[in-house]
């Protein structure tokens, strides 16, 4: 039952936002009493904490799985983006923004975990791209990996990028192209152009 509650709460939080969804909403969706939820989670904050950790672990495992194939680093970045966007429902409810606003302690813990995972993934991607001649050999990997993380977090800041003006998919597409054009060699740019054309044709 605990996992059923987490799964349903995750779905509702991502669709409607952490603020909007009540314990009554979750209970009604599951066809159970609110008391049953409180057996497993003493309050909404604990439920939010459990669902965010569950989302983080699910996405981290998926990213690790994608990285294990050691694909072309540029393709890998776009594949990870597609995977994350699918699991976060394109972030239509801007869950990370709401988490930061209403549950700042949980947000800080999650951000630290995200940084750790993303650093490993991005540094490995950058080093492999350099080895394959797709990324410039003179880039500072530690600097680029941190800038990448920071920009990804800023994309979710609604003060800077309001959802009414920018969809998360659009922001991600713009930023990935911006990031890659800054570090790619001519060989890498050829691959990037090829992928952008494929993505354009699929829209």
Burial code of 59-83, b = ≥16 C-beta within 10 A, e = fewer? bbeebeebbeeeebbbebbbbbbee
25 or 162, which is more confident: 25
Measure the CA–CA gap between 62 and 56, rounded to whole angstroms.
10
Domain holding 165, by residue range, is: 45-202
Which phi and psi (to 5°) does residue 202 adopt? -85, -10
Instruction: Assess if residue 32 is contained within a domain.
Output: no
Instruction: Assess if residue 25 is contained within a domain.
Output: no
| pTM score | 0.86
Measure the CA–CA gap between 158 and 164, rounded to whole angstroms.
9
Q: Are 106 and 48 in contact (CB under 8 A)?
A: yes
Instruction: Assess if residue 67 is contained within a domain.
Output: yes
Structural domain count, the chain: 1
Classify residue 54 as exposed, middle or buried by CB count within 10 Å of its CB (0-12, 13-18, 19+). middle
Measure the CA–CA gap between 171 and 134, rounded to whole angstroms.
23
% of residues, the chain, pLDDT over 70: 96
Instruction: Assess if residue 66 is contained within a domain.
Output: yes
Helix 104-131 with 44-68: angle, nearest 10 deg? 10
Instruction: Assess if residue 90 is contained within a domain.
Output: yes
Instruction: Assess if residue 37 is contained within a domain.
Output: no
Instruction: Assess if residue 14 is contained within a domain.
Output: no
Q: Which of 55, 51, 83, 54 is nearest to 68 (CA)?
A: 83
CATH number, domain with residue 134: 1.10.357.10
% of residues, the chain, pLDDT over 90: 66
Q: What is the mean pLDDT of the chain?
A: 90
Flag the least confident range among 62-76, 78-92, 160-174, 181-195: 78-92
């Amino acid at each position: 039952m605990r996992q059923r509650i987490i799964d349903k709460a995750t779905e509702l939080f991502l669709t409607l936002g952490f603020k909007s969804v009540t314990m009554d909403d979750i209970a009604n969706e599951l066809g159970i009493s609110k008391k049953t939820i409180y057996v497993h989670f003493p309050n909404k904050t604990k439920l939010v904490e459990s669902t965010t950790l569950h989302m983080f672990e699910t996405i981290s495992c998926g990213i690790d799985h994608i990285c294990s194939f050691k694909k072309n680093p540029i393709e890998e970045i776009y594949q990870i983006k597609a995977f994350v966007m699918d699991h976060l429902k394109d972030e239509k409810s801007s869950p990370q923004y709401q988490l930061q606003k209403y549950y700042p302690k949980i947000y800080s813990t999650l951000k630290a975990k995200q940084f750790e995972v993303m650093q490993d993934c991005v540094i490995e991607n950058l080093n492999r791209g350099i080895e394959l001649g797709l990324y410039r050999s003179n880039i500072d990997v530690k600097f680029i990996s941190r800038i990448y993380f920071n920009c990804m977090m800023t994309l979710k800041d609604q003060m800077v990028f309001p959802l009414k003006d920018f969809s998360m998919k659009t922001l991600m597409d713009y930023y990935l192209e911006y990031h890659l054009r800054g570090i790619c060699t001519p060989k890498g740019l050829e691959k990037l152009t090829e992928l952008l054309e494929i993505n354009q044709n699929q829209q």
